[in-house]
Amino acid sequence: MSVPLRIDAPAKLNLSLRVVGRRDDGLHLLDTEIVLLELADRLLLQPGSSGLRVTGELSADVPVDARNLAWRGLLAGLEREPDLACLTLEKRIPSASGLGGGSSDAAAAWRLGRAWRKMADRATADDLVALSLIGADVPFFAARQPAARVGGIGERILARPAVERHVVLVHPPFGLSTAAVFAELRPDEWERGENDLLAPARRLRPELDDLFALVVAAGGEPRLTGSGPTIFSLGDDPDRAASVAQGLARGGVRATISRTRTSPTSIEYIDEESTT
């Protein structure tokens, strides 16, 4: 019987995101710089009745069926339906936030499935192409790089130097569908700015303008990650990050502090007793 396996699935930030084209099948081609964060979901794969459990304060709107990206990632890693293996997902990353939680869960579960089969959990080029069909960010997470430049539909990964920086994350009281933001994107907005998805996200959620202004007023430099709606401010000074977060809190804005990662996460082989 396999021993329980545990792994953290970190959130990400898009430091830049440009749409550079669109394929005949409708998928957009991207050129984006991505870094990992310390903020992470946690996944546990252990012997038991086959199925998916989702726990944590942010689990309410997370599907527990075949729509769940973690479950899809596990099936891809196992290359079959789980047999006497239970996957538990502890949600710490907000859903529909632009932080890549679902994609990170898929990649982490894929790695767990591979390890469960006693196979290497390092993705090949063919694996990255297959995983890109689950989601554009999944290959980046599966590639185990804390920082990378990503192209194509997410399958082209070029490692970049990873530097620890302090991050203020602004969490709006609403989500944004990635599909809806891309549907709102106009071709004349491709390759126009730091994040080509900012303009369509603002049209869908004009409240983002007010939040950007509040971050500036608190001393931060606001940017949008992915399709949003999470706004972030990046810097080298932890005291400044704390000051920005405190200023936002005084204005009634929910903000948290994290850091960029300088190494990927690893699978832990754990004792049965520690999972109960």
Confidence (pTM): 0.93
| Top CATH class, 166-259 | alpha beta
User: What percentage of the chain reaches a pLDDT higher than 90?
Assistant: 84
Region for 48 from its dihedrals, namely left if φ exceeds 0, alpha if ψ lies in -120 to 50, beta otherwise: left
pLDDT bracket for residue 275 (50, 70, 90): low
Domain boundary assignment for the chain: 5-162, 166-259
CA terminus-to-terminus distance, the chain? 17
- Look at residues 110, 111, 93 and name the one whose alpha carbon lies nearest to residue 102: 93
What angle, rounded to 10 degrees, do the helices at 207-217 and 238-250 form? 130
Answer whether residue 18 shows pLDDT above 70.
Answer: yes
Answer whether residue 84 shows pLDDT above 80.
Answer: no
Higher pLDDT, 182 or 121: 182
Residues 6+ positions from 187 with CB-CB distance below 8 Å: none
CA angle at residue 39 from 34 to 44, to 5 degrees?
110
> Would you state the pLDDT for residue 100?
96
Answer whether residue 272 shows pLDDT above 70.
Answer: no
The DSSP H or E segment spanning 130 is helix 125-132
> Would you state the pLDDT for residue 273?
56
Which CATH architecture does the domain made up of 5-162 adopt?
Answer: 2-Layer Sandwich (3.30)
Answer whether residue 234 shows pLDDT above 80.
Answer: yes
> Would you state the pLDDT for residue 274?
56
Active site members: 12, 137
Answer whether residue 224 shows pLDDT above 70.
Answer: yes
Average pLDDT, the chain: 94
Average pLDDT over residues 51-57: 93
Residue with tokens 């529909």: 96
Residues 6+ positions from 109 with CB-CB distance below 8 Å: 9, 43, 45, 70, 71, 72, 73, 74, 77, 87, 89
Average pLDDT over residues 56-85: 88
